[in-house]
Amino acid sequence: MFRLPLKAERWFSNIKHHFSFEFDMYYYCVLAGLVKGVKQLLPSSDTKELIRSFPQDYRSESKIIVAYFLTKELEKQGISLNDRAAVHSLVKRYIDSESLNAILSEEGMRELNNYANGGIEVLENEFGHKPENIETFLLRFSKFISKSA
């Protein structure tokens, strides 16, 4: 289950009506967490259940997101891309075909959620305050990812 940090819901409150899915908020948090490599474990009371699998509109993007997540995890765990056994083991731990849309195993999902938890902290630090309008957010966010990746 994808879980959104409650803090993120508050942080996006001025602009969330522009998003078609709550998952968009989650995605922006995840991406911020991934580029900065920041993860945070939060108690479930500080997060809320979002959705079991990637929304339909993320069908093709979901695989790129998962691939980027695997890349960052390999990097974080110091696994060389030439180390077949280690790469194989990590991929095996994090992906799951049971639900094709989810793509991630329970463990993989948990780790991605941790990036979302870390990501909202990253966004708070980067922006200083919650975004007032969608245009500023999109432009600043794009710039931030571009310079931080």
Q: Which residues bind other proteins (CB under 8 A)?
A: 6, 17-20, 24, 27-28, 31, 34-35, 57-58, 60-61, 63-68, 70-71, 74, 81-82, 84, 87-89, 91-92, 95-98, 100, 103, 134-135, 138-139, 141-142, 145-146, 149
Nearest-approach distance from CB 139 to other proteins, in angstroms:
7
Nearer to other proteins, 24 or 124 (CB): 24
Nearer CB in complex with other proteins: 23/121: 23
DSSP string, 72-126: HHHHHTT--TT-HHHHHHHHHHHB--SSTTT-B-HHHHHHHHHHHHHHHHHHHHH
Task: Write down the least CB distance from residue 79 to other proteins, Å.
Answer: 10
CA neighbor of 115 nearest in space, from 48, 30, 49: 30
Provide the minimum distance between the beta carbon of 105 and other proteins in the complex, in angstroms, as a whole number: 9
Q: Are 39 and 88 in contact (CB under 8 A)?
A: no
Interior angle at CA 20, CA 124 and CA 3, nearest 5:
55
Q: What is the smallest separation between the CB atom of 99 and other proteins, expressed in angstroms? A: 10
- Tokens in use for 42? 């939060």
